[in-house]
Structure 1
Amino acid sequence: MPLKSPITVVATSLLAAQALAVSVHNWWDVPSDFGNIAELQSSIRVPQGSDPIKTYWMANGFGNGYMGMQHNSDTERRILFSIWDDGQGSKVEPIRHGDNVTVGTFGGEGEGAQSYLVYDWKAGDTVYFRVQANVNEAEDYAEYTGYWGTDGQTWNLIASFRAEKQPYWLLEPYGFLENYGSDQSEIREGYYGNFVMINSNGQHHTPENFQFTHTDIFNEYREVWDQRLVEQGKEVYMRIDGPADQGAYPPAHH
């Protein structure tokens, strides 16, 4: 059975995001012979003072979904997990969700189902993310489950979704840092780490190389960004916004 390309879903979603917000992206290195990716794990640590509102730190992205955390307002922060539909009206149905998790639909950058937990995560702390896929090609669907935690060992359920007409494993893993508001004055930074991918045979791989992309630069504001692999600990550092002479590293472009 020919499968629709989930790469198209990623490209479409990123193009839509470019029209709405500035973002930088890290794409994980996947060995050519690794096979089907059934699980992604990673973490994010935001430096203190680099967590202004209207910021999204996305940890585990894949062809038709993503998971991460946001600073939504002065009184609210969230852990999020979202799955797109196929762009042609396919259903994304919730299966189960964790305590105090809100489940609904979304639009604007594609359409699909989303879930979020209002959780007061703190800058300086490490938050862990885990996504699993279970694919049923015979019945033309996949089930995706998202978890989060604070120690990398204990996992708390966000939600599980069944995505009809999308029998895809976790292709093209990536992360991003996004300003989805209009304030450009404050630094947005994040350290992305503890990367693990597991294939459908149970084999583990820790990516150590990454490709970096970013939204189109069309004014001086969008030139204040930086992306780099921090060799010690194999963390990825990403930054946008704020004064060019501030932050953990001087921006690569200013």
Structure 2
Amino acid sequence: MIKVHLIVLILIGVLSSCVGTQKGNCSDVYSHAVPFVGNAWFDSNEMPPQRMDFDEAGALNWKEENKTLKIYFRTEKTGDIKLGLNAKVLVGRSKIQLRFKGEEKEIVVKDSSWHTVCLGMHTIEKPGYHVVELRGIKPAADSYGLYKELLLDGAACSDSLYFVKEDFYWGRRGPSVHLGYQVPEEAGDIEYFYNEITVPEGQDVLGSYFMANGFGEGYFGIQVNSPTERRILFSVWSPFHTDNPNDIPEEQRIKLLKKGDEVYTGKFGNEGSGGQSYLKYNWKAGITYGFLLKAHPSENNSTDYTAWFMDPELNEWQLIASFRRPQTSTYIKRPHSFLENFYTQMGNTSRMAYYTNQWVRNTEGKWYELTKAKFTADATARKHSRLDYAGGVHKGKFFMKNCGFFNERVAFDQYFERKEEGLQPEIDFSQTK
């Protein structure tokens, strides 16, 4: 009888051990796989950061030392969540450290074939974006291993998990957002569009394009191109639809009419094609800059577009460029602004700007203030790959914000209205000939 009780106790102990292991971190069953290629960044002080090197299968060969690898995902629920990695080493065994929700844990990766590395069970107490941090401790040879996916399971990620599943290039760039300004119907034909932008200090992030004066056929704004270079960019699309500017027939190419001092002009492609101009200019965060765009029909069924930039420290309008677009006869249509990140390495860093004091001037010389705008977003946001975007009115000013995996999302496709300021632009149009 004593032997029977002893056997039962041993069996109970074995079963308890197995259940504990299953609940803790040793099950290979995960309901979701978050690919590193679209959702992971190295935390680095390098500017610009190096591009992450993923192979054709989406695997990262982690060789970088003294850098933290961060993987992002979002949940709308709380509760338990089980973490794992799809990983392998090339030789030997490597050691890394996991950080998640204030917990730290050392992990060993030792198999040379793809396998599940268990990271344990954790608890999510607040919905929103979450970041799993991995730090290399000891590599195997010159690598910490190859990593494909963060594996997730549990109540917190059931029916409410968001991450980049496809179109990884655009997912890494992050969501682009727009403000479409509403022009009063009585305004008629719009010849001039005036706008202002203020980028707060610390928000002038590398890879940002703060586009001020968008129109049906192009765009005009300011960029952060490198740690030492900034630009004022003005471009007009060709009516011939292609991503290769060399394919555009001669009769449908954008023609340069004039340009400002030290302004580069040329062609652009990859996102449509057309004429491009930019001035390398060290604009500064915290200062409000003015943008003025003119459009009017010209000869032979064409339209001329001209852009000027105002730096309050110089207090004069600087010509950027004037382009002629063939097969087009129009005034300014669809005045809008947008905010985008064009460096995939900076998709995990947020940036924002204020867009203020919008006005249009019709062909009769009458100004109209634009106080209502529709907030919209691109496909990356619309298919819920990234939810780190916001826009609307803050402190009486239109604003837009994107990237960085912040939580305060603002729904797109809604209208916002700011108060009338009545600060009609005082422009000496003799400076804009």
Contact 1:62 1:170 in 2 (8 A): yes
Letter in 2 for 1:105: K
Contact 1:43 1:194 in 2 (8 A): yes
Q: CA deviation at 1:87?
A: 2.0
Q: Which residue of 2 aligns with 1:189?
A: 352
1:18–1:29 Cα change, 3 Å: farther
What is the total number of aligned residue pairs between the two structures? 229
Name which of structure 1's ranges 58-67 and 153-162 shifts more when overlaid on structure 2: 153-162
List alignment gaps of at least 5 residues for structure 1. Answer: 1-16
Q: CA deviation at 1:202?
A: 1.1
1:1-254 mapped onto 2 (5 Å cutoff): 22-87=175-240, 89=248, 90-136=252-298, 139-151=300-312, 154-182=316-344, 183-216=346-379, 217=381, 218-219=383-384, 222-230=386-394, 232=396, 235-244=397-406, 250-252=408-410
Letter in 2 for 1:39: Y
Letter in 1 for 2:183: V
Q: CA deviation at 1:184?
A: 2.2
Q: Whole-Å Cα distance in 2 between the matches of residues 193 and 41 of structure 1?
A: 10
Contact 2:175 2:389 in 1 (8 A): no
Contact 2:175 2:403 in 1 (8 A): no
RMSD, aligned α-carbons: 2.1
TM-score by length of 2: 0.50
Q: Whole-Å Cα distance in 2 between the matches of residues 93 and 119 of structure 1?
A: 24
SS of 1:223 mapped into structure 2: coil
Q: CA deviation at 1:208?
A: 0.6
Q: Which residue of 2 aligns with 1:13?
A: none
RCO comparison, higher one (Cα < 8 Å, 6+): 1
Q: Whole-Å Cα distance in 2 between the matches of residues 141 and 71 of structure 1?
A: 32
Residues 162-193 of structure 1, C-alpha deviations (whole Å, 9 max, x = no match):
11111121101000000112122222101001
Q: Whole-Å Cα distance in 2 between the matches of residues 114 and 52 of structure 1?
A: 23
Name which of structure 1's ranges 82-91 and 168-177 shifts more when overlaid on structure 2: 82-91
Q: Whole-Å Cα distance in 2 between the matches of residues 21 and 142 of structure 1?
A: 33
List alignment gaps of at least 5 residues for structure 2. Answer: 1-168, 242-247, 412-433
Q: Whole-Å Cα distance in 2 between the matches of residues 117 and 149 of structure 1?
A: 13
Q: Whole-Å Cα distance in 1 between the matches of residues 410 and 209 of structure 2?
A: 21
Letter in 1 for 2:391: Q
Contact 2:177 2:340 in 1 (8 A): yes
Letter in 1 for 2:255: E
Residues 198-243 of structure 1, C-alpha deviations (whole Å, 9 max, x = no match):
11111110011100100132456x21111112352xx211000125
Percent identity of equivalent pairs: 35
Contact 2:254 2:323 in 1 (8 A): yes
Contact 1:105 1:114 in 2 (8 A): yes
SS of 2:291 mapped into structure 1: strand
SS of 1:123 mapped into structure 2: coil
Contact 2:174 2:402 in 1 (8 A): no
Contact 2:290 2:310 in 1 (8 A): yes
Letter in 1 for 2:195: S
If each structure's helix is expressed as a fraction of its own residues, which one has the higher value? 2
Q: Which has the larger radius of gyration?
A: 2
SS of 1:33 mapped into structure 2: helix
